[in-house]
Structure 1
Amino acid sequence: MKTLQNNSWKNVSEIDLIYKTKIKNSQRPHVTSSQYAYSLIKDCWDPGKIEFLEQFKVLLLNQSNKVLGIYEVSSGGITSTVVDVRLLFAAALKAGAAGLIIAHNHPSGNVLPSEPDKHITKKISMAGEVLDIKLLDHLIVTSEHYYSFADQGAL
């Protein structure tokens, strides 16, 4: 094993995990239904983009299903966006989330899930199981309505 010489240890990057909030727990929205989650997520969506390009967001929740924050995982093209599961869970771990509600929009207005939608839902659910972070729902949103994987028994 080679020993560090000449203070080369100073060339190692420091990693700092910080989650800062100015919102008291009592003031955080409490998610009790897919409809309420949809209303929260839709309010955070740029109305100029919801029918233009596909985006993927995650609602981070504590153990009591109170909202810790919302994180935009990716923004893509007209028909798809790439979801890096590692970045999604990096945000969840940083916030100390116990649960997730993932959401993405379909600019076409069709809320039915595609096969890639089903695949990413399963992938995120499995990753969450390993980390003890429960995937509570996956919403496909449009400006007028939504599809809930949980409500449809597809989760």
Structure 2
Amino acid sequence: MKNKVNEIIVSYKEKQAISKAPTITSSLVAGKLLYENWDKDTISLKETFKVLLLNNSNKVKGIYELSQGGITGTLVDLRVLYAVILKSLSVAVILAHNHPSGKLIPSEADKHLTRKIVKAGNYFDVKVLDHLIVVPNGAYYSFADSGLL
């Protein structure tokens, strides 16, 4: 008798030409793009973690919403994060999450998570360019600009 197993299919589909995608040249460009694509109805209510996926020219391949949490936190599963990064064949990423409180200071948990994601990225040759904290008024905090990356 032949054993049956599930077939696994990995795919990534571009709906718009990558040549027309925005290029990330600074935290300002990334912060503005992320804020424009954040749900304004929930940005001041609950934390959400997103990843901006980039090609080797820092062109945006897409934004993936990894998790939604509560008022003061959200869970980030590194296995799911890197499954998305690798599946999309991204070579660099910008991490982002919001602080509904409007506070632009990273917590120790934010710093620890960032270090953990950077360390994992080193194994896959995926560069973590920045981690942004976005707040409801559109302001942001950049880990890279603050020397934390």
TM-score, normalised via structure 2 length: 0.97
Partner of 2:34: 41
Tell me the matched-pair count: 148
- Which of 41, 55, 65 is the equivalent residue of 1:62? 55
1:17 aligns with 2:10: yes
Partner of 2:148: 154
Q: Which amino acid aligns with 2:116?
A: K
Q: Note the residue ranges of structure 1 that are not aligned, 5 or more in a row.
A: 1-5
Distance 1:12 1:41 in 2: 40
**Percent sequence identity over matched residues?**
54
Per-residue CA deviations over 1:114-140 (Å, capped at 9, x if unaligned) read: 000000000000000000000000000
Distance 2:6 2:133 in 1: 38
By how many angstroms is 1:152 displaced?
A: 0.6
Distance 1:91 1:15 in 2: 15
1:136 aligns with 2:129: yes
Map of 1:1-150 to 2, 5 A cutoff?
A: 6-8=1-3, 11-144=4-137, 145-150=139-144
Distance 2:113 2:59 in 1: 24
SS at the partner of 2:144? coil
Q: Note the residue ranges of structure 2 that are not aligned, 5 or more in a row.
A: none
SS at the partner of 2:90? coil
Q: Which amino acid aligns with 1:7?
A: K
By how many angstroms is 1:143 displaced?
A: 2.2
Partner of 1:3: none
Distance 2:37 2:14 in 1: 17
TM-score, normalised via structure 1 length: 0.94
Distance 1:75 1:122 in 2: 21
Higher Cα Rg: structure 1 or 2?
1
Distance 2:145 2:37 in 1: 22
Distance 2:18 2:111 in 1: 33
Distance 1:143 1:109 in 2: 6
Q: Aligned-residue CA RMSD in angstroms?
A: 0.7
By how many angstroms is 1:19 displaced?
A: 0.2
